[in-house]
Structure 1
Amino acid sequence: MCGLAAILAYGAEAPPPDRAELLAVRDAMVPRGPDGAGLWLDGRVGLAHRRLSIIEITEAGAQPMATSDGRLRVTFNGEIYNYRALRAELEAQGVAFASHSDTEVLLHLYRRDGIDMLRSLRGMFAFALWDEERRGMLLARDPFGIKPLYIADDGRTLRAASQVKALLAGGGIDTCPSPAGHAGFFLWGHVPEPFTLYRGVEALPAGGWLWVEEGGARRSGRHFDLREEALAAQPADIDLGAALRDSVAHHLIADVPVGVFLSAGIDSASLASLAVEVGGGPVETVTLGFDRLKGTHADEVPLAEDLARRLGTHQRTQWVGEADFAEARERIFADMDQPSVDGVNTWFVARAARQAGLKVALSGLGGDEMFGGYDTFRQLPRMERLLRPMRLLPGLGAGLRFLAAPWIGRFASPKLAGLLELGPRLSDAYLLKRGLFMPWELKGVLDPDMAAAGLEGLATRSRLAEAVAGLEGDMRTGVLEMSFYMRNQLLRDADWAGMAHSLEIRTPFVDVGLLRACLPALVGPHRPAKRDVARSARLPDSIISRPKTGFTVPVSQWLGLGGPSSRLWAGLVHGRFTAGDVR
């Protein structure tokens, strides 16, 4: 995992890329790549890279990397887990390699297949590839959006980088506020893609690609669409254990040790067990505990440590208290690339893993989304079923919400005002469940004009409905969770919080190979659940039977917040970004 930067001055009137700007963007990402740095400039294009060496740790893996004839150059962030199989295939066709890097596989695969090569990749990735012969740049991002890629295009020059703050560090970016970005943050607790807080910066869509030529001609498309994958799946029995072992085996590929974040939850416990089994020996496990939760039902340390003893892992438990948070608070704000109400726990466990000497750690992120672990999988269908008759009176729910919204928050959750308006459709109910503030509340936390413009730009209910059109059963909830909460909150938090400590966080449950292996069962009548995952990993009953509690971080207690802590924390975070303190 690394940091990439790219500039293409495609417009005839655009000045050539500025070396100082490209260096500023690159070196704003030093924690993403402390092991090396590279820069290449040629006329109207420039590529830069910060390296965290994990596969091919010699200088042969340095970037930007070029083919021997100089036609192709790439700057790449992430890992291609099936690169060995792809390399063997290319070698059988006569391709000669100069390194053992997955980056070099990208170059030769592109030479053979062009943009279609994206469909062959299994991994987490974002890259910018320059084709000298065609005088064009290809930008691409992995299927789930595990790795970020942000773009700024002023009509003459295209800029791209792994972080929003890195682009800002280079200057020349339109930093006027994006109403959709600001409204989206308060609506969800994160900034939903493709928006950022800035009008001039957007995210390349997950599973998407963009081709821009010198002169400005461009094409874009998608190499992966979660909804289409689900619609195409046909029910069938699967070997869940084999699929899980295959994903874990691929995610253990590295030239450095790979650890595991271990809690008392089924997801991380399953990964630890499978990693020991597949890896053939002890692994490093890291557990985070909070002083304020010690001895309570929310304390996951005792069960995690017991499992570590059973598995024979090298266990490290890191306790975090109020003083630790107070000391780290400014650093956390500085490391946060876009505002988020989450990620503090990941920041601390990533720090503990790096202090243990790890560069790579597996996370159980994605297990709940894939295998129905959240209560949304039960609550949303029930809400839709009970309130479906309200669809016959579409104006009634909105009218009751208008009447109730001004006062209901004094007695109950403000969300209750929208129950009859949003509850009758599962996609709308998802907003009701996952939303931080409701749309009608935004004018109370933002300038009313910005809130109105932001809501129009977000088109939230339309986007939610489109994401699940044609899907049935639990796949609707699963696709919503993977496409919104997981992508925009969990994966993004894992990226910035891990990279803050030069730690690569890998997510075996968020894997295109695992998804495609499991989809026949996920769309079938016997959908695998979290307990099936646990049994496949041979976990003890103490873990399997433990009720799901979620991972609790006592931020509200540390800050002395009263009332809804996530909403108050959101105000603090947003204030730090808009005050200009965090860039």
Structure 2
Amino acid sequence: MCGITGIYAFNMVGRVSMINVAKATSALEKRGPDVQNTYNDHSVALGHRRLSIIDPTPEGHQPMFDQSGRYVIAFNGEIFNFKSIKQELQAQGHTFRSQTDTEVLLQLFIKEGKDCLQKLNGFFSFAIWDTQDKSLFIARDRIGIKPLYYMMDDDRLLFGSELKAIEAYGIDKELDYTALNTYLQLNYIPAPRTIFKNVKKLMPGHYIELTAERFEVKPYYTIPSPSNDNEATSYEDQKNELSQLLEASVQKRLMADVPLGSFLSGGIDSSVVSTLAARHKPDLHTFSIGYQDEKFFDESEYAQLVAKKIGTNHTVFSLTNQQMYAHLHDILDYMDEPFADSSAIAVYVLSQETRKHATVALSGDGADELFAGYNKHAAFFKIIEGGKKAEWVKNLGPIWGLMPKSRNNKITNLFRQLHRFSEGMKLNSQERYWRWAGFASESEVSKLLTPAVKGKINQEEYLSFKNDILQHLPEKESINDILYTDVKLVLPDDMLTKVDRMSMANSLEVRVPFLDHEVVEFAFRIPPSSKINTDIRKRILQDTFRDILPQELYNRPKKGFEVPLSKWLRTDMKSMITEDLLNEKFIADQGIFDVKAIKSLKKQLFSSNPGDAHARIWSIIVFQWWWKKYMS
């Protein structure tokens, strides 16, 4: 895994910016701590930070040239089928100087151009410069596992694995208020937008072609539309296919010339991945976090059950709340764009501890989005199926609205969920999805902002952006429609962003077998009934691997990868809230947030009925920290 950056200068002004390529490359140091190299010619510069995984010799360093010297590549990621591609190329007379997938990718591109993307199984972002045609080609993987930011103005195109690399070239930083409005609802910013108006994220499954005369962004892949056909292949056949596809995916992701392990939380997803990996890697090392002070979220006993059954060398990092909290400032400081999924804290700590033992880790990410694993999927299912119970909850909405709501105990959390469910039932399919995807409604966010900021939000632009995200949800949605939208939105922009940033902050490569594109396509070929019913979520996943997992993993509530955020905000972080980031004078001087609205939200947080105030406060804290570092 690596970090890449580059610049294509259109004129002399743009060429002046090329002096910053080394600085931009250095900004990605944690993505690739092993080697830094840059390439410069008259109008293009490329930078690469290397985390050596395959063929760590100097022959694998980048930017890498082909043997003719015409093409040069900067590549971030892994191509898991590179050996079979290499054999095909060798049979056609191609020769290789290294054992890397980078060189295979470069030669495949030289042979087939953009069509090479259809043959790649992996996760990546890369750039290839043709020194003869003076053309630049940039691409991102199908699902969006690896990131790619870019910015173009009259003088240059800039790109990088993280926003901090683009900032290093010296750019005008104009806040995108439409992105801010969306962030305060969802706690992240969906692609293609970023927090800056002039910087974009390359969408998953897209590429850029750039010459002196033209600039084009085009799709090369989209996940096939979901099937709702209950007359598809038999359930037994579906289970057999899933078993074969997932085991093949795991096996492909075991290639490495450095220590490789697997995250093992004790949930179904990581347990399946670790169990399949152990079949092909007898010395597999597995890792999990234990929460000493939060026994409700501690699943380490289940992880140990799995590890014992499959015979792995298992390590539990048993941490106190204070040990978790000690990383908070480093995490906030690493974020170059506001991102407020608080479970990122746990992923950061797990990645940091795992990196002491391994350079690569497998993960169970993606299974919930593909096979309906979240509470919200059960809620959607209940609405789609209808019935008296759902109507009863809806009709009692006014009562749920009066009840105390918080995540702090079982009863108040139930009231919170019932109120959220009853409110969602009143909305159409798209608005219900949007509301349940976020932590704050459009009206709640509007109240947080000053009139001046609200005036800078282009409502037509915002609605167009929102409609693009929700375009795959029909008036009468199915569970597969919900999951398809999750894979387009939540998966790349929240879940995968979280794992990429927090693992790369610790120079750890994380591989996600569930997101092999063949597994993803299979998931959307099978009907909703294979995934969820009244009694079970992730039905096919649980049934397929039931015989190889400990029975204790079944029939227990999903706990998630949580941190005690509400408790921290009300105790350890109270002074940060009241005296610094949400201090009334700072808020007033900044001019973004309404002072009275922030004061009211703080009051709610510290009350006996906080609701989701902690999630909303957290999103503002993350933004304020980012603002002070990058904008003040």
| TM-score, normalised with respect to structure 2 | 0.82
* Contact residue 150 and residue 162 of structure 1 kept, 8 A: yes
1:532 corresponds to:
540
Q: Give the Cα–Cα distance (whole angstroms) in 2 for the partners of residues 374 and 204 of structure 1.
A: 27
* Contact residue 177 and residue 198 of structure 1 kept, 8 A: yes
Alignment CA distance shift 1:466-1:227 (3 Å): farther
Q: Give the Cα–Cα distance (whole angstroms) in 2 for the partners of residues 68 and 348 of structure 1.
A: 42
* Contact residue 260 and residue 361 of structure 2 kept, 8 A: yes
Matched AA of 1:477:
I
2:491 corresponds to:
486
1:376-399 Cα distance to aligned partner (Å, 9 max, x none): 323124335659xxxxxxxxx9xx
Look up the SS of the partner of 1:579 in the other structure.
Answer: helix
2:314 aligned with 1:315, yes or no?
A: yes
* Contact residue 72 and residue 132 of structure 1 kept, 8 A: yes
2:259 corresponds to:
257
Structure 1 residue 417: deviation in Å? 9.2
Identity %: 29
Q: Give the Cα–Cα distance (whole angstroms) in 1 for the partners of residues 423 and 187 of structure 2.
A: 23
2:65 aligned with 1:56, yes or no?
A: no
Q: Give the Cα–Cα distance (whole angstroms) in 2 for the partners of residues 426 and 298 of structure 1.
A: 32
1:174-253 equivalences under 5 Å are: 174-215=172-213, 217-228=214-225, 235-236=232-233, 237-238=237-238, 239-253=241-255
2:614 aligned with 1:574, yes or no?
A: no
Structure 1 residue 180: deviation in Å? 1.9
2:428 corresponds to:
425
Structure 1 residue 167: deviation in Å? 1.3
2:511 to 506, 510, 531: 506
Structure 1 residue 344: deviation in Å? 0.8
Q: Give the Cα–Cα distance (whole angstroms) in 1 for the partners of residues 385 and 309 of structure 2.
A: 44
Alignment CA distance shift 1:444-1:32 (3 Å): same
* Contact residue 64 and residue 74 of structure 1 kept, 8 A: yes
Structure 1 residue 135: deviation in Å? 1.2
1:531-568 Cα distance to aligned partner (Å, 9 max, x none): 53345441111112322222221122233264232112
* Contact residue 479 and residue 528 of structure 2 kept, 8 A: no
1:259-298 equivalences under 5 Å are: 259-279=261-281, 281-293=282-294, 296-298=295-297
Matched AA of 2:221:
F
Equivalent pairs, count: 559
1:436 corresponds to:
439
Alignment CA distance shift 1:437-1:143 (3 Å): same
More divergent stretch after superposition (220-229 vs 306-315): 220-229
Q: Give the Cα–Cα distance (whole angstroms) in 2 for the partners of residues 353 and 114 of structure 1.
A: 38
1:113-192 equivalences under 5 Å are: 113-171=112-170, 173-192=171-190
Q: Give the Cα–Cα distance (whole angstroms) in 2 for the partners of residues 463 and 409 of structure 1.
A: 36
Structure 1 residue 316: deviation in Å? 1.2
1:450 to 450, 453, 466: 453
1:15-164 equivalences under 5 Å are: 15-16=14-15, 18-164=17-163
Look up the SS of the partner of 1:292 in the other structure.
Answer: coil
1:554 to 564, 573, 583: 564
* Contact residue 325 and residue 558 of structure 1 kept, 8 A: no
* Contact residue 429 and residue 477 of structure 2 kept, 8 A: no
Alignment CA distance shift 1:449-1:234 (3 Å): farther
Look up the SS of the partner of 2:355 in the other structure.
Answer: helix
2:12 aligned with 1:8, yes or no?
A: no
* Contact residue 292 and residue 554 of structure 1 kept, 8 A: no
2:330 corresponds to:
331
Look up the SS of the partner of 2:513 in the other structure.
Answer: coil
2:554 aligned with 1:544, yes or no?
A: yes
* Contact residue 347 and residue 500 of structure 1 kept, 8 A: yes
1:198-226 Cα distance to aligned partner (Å, 9 max, x none): 112110111111101024x1222111112
1:392 corresponds to:
none
Q: Give the Cα–Cα distance (whole angstroms) in 1 for the partners of residues 507 and 476 of structure 2.
A: 39
Matched AA of 2:43:
R
Q: Give the Cα–Cα distance (whole angstroms) in 1 for the partners of residues 64 and 329 of structure 2.
A: 36
Structure 1 residue 324: deviation in Å? 1.9
2:479 corresponds to:
474
Structure 1 residue 455: deviation in Å? 5.1
* Contact residue 531 and residue 539 of structure 2 kept, 8 A: no
Structure 1 residue 138: deviation in Å? 0.8
* Contact residue 2 and residue 75 of structure 2 kept, 8 A: yes
| TM-score, normalised with respect to structure 1 | 0.89
Structure 1: runs of 5 or more not aligned: 388-396
Matched AA of 1:530:
K
Q: Give the Cα–Cα distance (whole angstroms) in 2 for the partners of residues 47 and 324 of structure 1.
A: 39
Alignment CA distance shift 1:2-1:417 (3 Å): closer
Structure 1 residue 54: deviation in Å? 0.4
